[in-house]
């Protein structure tokens, strides 16, 4: 048997296709429906690898996600615990440092990051000390100053044990601010031109010239303008409103031949009071010391006020009560009247006083005198209280012009007799009725004279018109509001008695 026949006899080889390599022929893929079994396996392997990779990426993402979520959860829990242990936070605070010195009742508004529980004034400490009222409105804490604050002073307001509505933890709110400095307007008359100046109390020199014009008789600041009365040359006046920012001037028409004896300005508002006299060469004037008013924001028409008898109200003096529309008038017949300029036909008698000095700095009382001495009148109740001056340097004194402060003190001119009792010296004192007053001003060797007193709105300073020497004084020759040419303005700190500023001029307006 040949070798070839023995290979063919192998049953395992019978009918089997010959391997391509074995026959030495090129490989030709078999076709089963157009897909080679080996290509299908490759794709399946690739698909399985892709799924495996996606599975691994998903697992990595899930692990990362849960790790990050866990960390964030821990952080959130930490902040939640810390937040529950901490009180509310102060975000912002607001206060007007200028108005806080001018008007009582100004507010410090403190905003928190969440609604707050109610507080009381015992939790509030103010340095320097001042009385306050406190209230809460959701996330707003309001600290209201019951008194006017001092000029040019650093204040710190601290509120302790501030709690939110939703938790027990408390915190402390604190805010510091500095109030505006004091300044005063005044008039300095010259030979050919007069000047209205503004001087800072803490400054030096004459101050800044606000307006200059010849023959200024009187002036008053009213809501950003100066109301100025000037001599028109024939005895009558010219009334002008001057815009302080630009110097633009407008004339306010007066009744023909009228002279302005006094300008009465409110603390706020555009109503202005005037005291007018009709200037005539011969005959009887139509009006004399007549009370009038004008609304600078309205039709700017000057109207003369009439009393219950239909005649013009003749005024010795007039002053605005707080609010800017009601005048308190001391009439020529010594009656004290209240007139609301929004309803000028209604003239209300208040009292009868021979002498009226000043309205208190809080606008609630008026000082004056009768034949028995000094007194003050409570405008709300109508009660009169005797104003008995305390001893000055263990001497009995006689009281004169008085300005009542917002507390229990008053600033007063008193006459102090000399050892012989034959002459008197005029001294400005501050008095609280305790039995002894304290000196604020006195002329050198008592040679001078002391004029009007004007206290700053916050009771911190008093401006005093002083003529250094009566014997050497020369009049300025003006028909309205005449003064000696040597008159000066002395500004004194009421608390310390220190002279803080001296200016050449008069008619101060805070």
The CATH superfamily assigned to 215-352 is YVTN repeat-like/Quinoprotein amine dehydrogenase (2.130.10.10)
Q: Which CATH class is domain 90-178?
A: mainly beta
> pLDDT by residue (tens digit) across 279-298?
998 888 999 999 999 999 99
Residue written as token pair 């307001």: 157
Beta bridge partners of 229: 218, 239
pLDDT band at 38 (very low <50, low <70, confident <90, very high): low
pLDDT score recorded for residue 253: 97
Which residue bears the tokens 């001092």? 150
Is the pLDDT at 194 greater than 90, yes or no? Answer: yes
Residue 29 scores a pLDDT above 60? no
Say which residue, 45 or 32, is predicted with more confidence.
Answer: 45
pLDDT of 70 over the 70 cut: yes
Residue 247 vs residue 156, higher pLDDT: 156
Burial of 169 (0-12, 13-18, 19+ CB in 10 A): middle
Domain boundaries, the chain: 90-178, 215-352
Q: Rounded to an integer, what is the distance from CA 396 to the centroid of its chain?
A: 42
Is 453 exposed, middle or buried (CB count within 10 Å of its CB: 0-12, 13-18, 19+)? buried
Average of per-residue pLDDT values in the chain? 90
Distance (Å) of CA 150 to CA 35, 180, 412: 101, 9, 21
The region, left, alpha or beta by phi > 0 then psi within -120 to 50, assigned to residue 273 is beta
pLDDT band, residue 229 (cuts 50/70/90)? very high
Structure tokens at 3: 């070798």
Per DSSP bridges, beta strands 326-331 and 315-320 are: antiparallel
Q: Summarize pLDDT for 379-389 with one digit per residue, the tens.
A: 999 999 999 99
Q: Which residue has the higher pLDDT, 420 or 265?
A: 265
Buried b (16+ CB within 10 A) or exposed e, 291-317: bbbbbbeeebebebbebeeeebbbbeb
The yes-or-no verdict on residue 176 having pLDDT over 90 is yes
Split at pLDDT 50, 70, 90, the class of 85 is low
Q: Strand, helix or coil at 149?
A: coil
What is the full DSSP assignment across 388-438? PPPBBTTB--EEEEEEE-SSS-EEEEEEEE-TTSS-EEEEEEEE-SSSB-E
**Residue among 430, 424, 383, 378 nearest 402 (CA):** 430
Q: Spell out where 249-304 has E strands.
A: 249-252, 258-264, 271-278, 290-295, 303-304
DSSP 36: -
Bridge-based pairing of strands 154-163 and 124-127 is antiparallel
Question: Residue 17 CA to chain centroid, in angstroms?
Answer: 111
- pLDDT tens-place string over residues 105-144: 999 999 999 999 999 999 999 999 999 999 999 999 999 9
pLDDT at residue 173 is higher than 60: yes
Question: Given a cut of 60, is residue 504 above it in pLDDT?
Answer: yes
Q: What is the pLDDT of residues 392-401, one digit of tens each?
A: 999 999 999 9
Please report the pLDDT score of residue 13 as a whole number: 42
Instruction: Return the pLDDT at 125.
Output: 96
Structure tokens at 42: 């490759």
């Amino acid at each position: 048997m040949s070798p070839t026949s023995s290979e063919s006899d192998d049953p395992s080889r019978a009918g089997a296709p010959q391997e391509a390599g074995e026959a030495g022929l090129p490989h030709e893929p078999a076709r089963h429906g157009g897909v080679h079994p080996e290509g299908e396996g490759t794709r399946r392997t690739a698909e399985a690898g892709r799924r495996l990779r996606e599975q691994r990426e998903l697992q990595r993402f899930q692990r990362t996600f849960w790790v990050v979520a866990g960390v964030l959860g821990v952080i959130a829990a930490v902040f939640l615990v810390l937040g529950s242990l901490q009180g509310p936070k102060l975000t912002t605070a607001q206060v007007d440092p200028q108005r806080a010195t001018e008007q009582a009742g100004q507010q410090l508004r403190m905003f928190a990051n969440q609604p707050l529980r109610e507080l009381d004034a015992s939790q509030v400490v103010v340095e320097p000390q001042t009385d306050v009222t406190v209230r809460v409105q959701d996330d707003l804490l309001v600290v209201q100053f019951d008194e006017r604050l001092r000029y040019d002073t650093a204040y710190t307001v601290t509120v302790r044990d501030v709690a939110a509505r939703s938790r027990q933890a408390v915190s402390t709110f604190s805010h510091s601010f500095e109030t505006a400095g004091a300044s005063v307007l005044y008039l300095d008359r010259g030979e050919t031109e007069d000047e209205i100046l503004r001087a800072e109390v803490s400054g030096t020199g004459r101050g800044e010239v606000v307006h200059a014009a010849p023959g200024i008789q009187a002036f008053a600041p009213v809501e950003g303008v100066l109301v100025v009365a000037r001599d028109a040359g024939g005895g009558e006046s010219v009334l002008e409103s001057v815009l302080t920012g630009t110097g633009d001037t407008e004339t306010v028409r007066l009744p023909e031949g009228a002279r302005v004896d006094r300008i009465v300005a409110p603390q706020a508002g555009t109503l202005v009071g005037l005291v007018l006299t009709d200037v005539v060469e011969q005959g009887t004037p139509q009006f004399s010391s007549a009370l009038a008013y004008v609304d600078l924001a309205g039709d700017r028409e000057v109207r003369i006020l009439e009393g219950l008898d239909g005649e013009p109200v003749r005024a010795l003096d007039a002053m605005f009560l707080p609010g800017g529309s009601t005048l308190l008038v001391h009439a020529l017949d010594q009656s004290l009247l209240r007139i609301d300029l929004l309803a000028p036909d209604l003239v209300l008698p208040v009292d009868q006083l021979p002498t009226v000095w000043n309205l208190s700095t809080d606008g609630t009382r008026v000082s004056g005198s009768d034949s028995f001495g000094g007194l003050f009148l409570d405008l709300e109740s109508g009660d009169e209280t005797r104003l008995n001056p305390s001893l000055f340097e263990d001497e009995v004194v006689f009281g004169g012009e008085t300005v009542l402060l917002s507390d229990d003190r008053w600033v007063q001119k008193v006459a102090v007799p000399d050892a012989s009792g034959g002459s008197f010296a005029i001294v400005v004192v501050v008095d609280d009725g305790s039995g002894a007053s304290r000196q604020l001003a006195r002329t050198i060797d008592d040679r001078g004279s002391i004029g009007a007193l004007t206290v700053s709105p916050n009771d911190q300073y008093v401006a005093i018109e002083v003529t250094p020497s009566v014997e050497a004084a020369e009049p300025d020759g003006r028909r309205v509001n005449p003064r000696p040419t040597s008159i000066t303005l002395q500004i004194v700190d009421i608390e310390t008695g220190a002279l803080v500023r001296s200016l050449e001029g008069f008619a101060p307006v805070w």
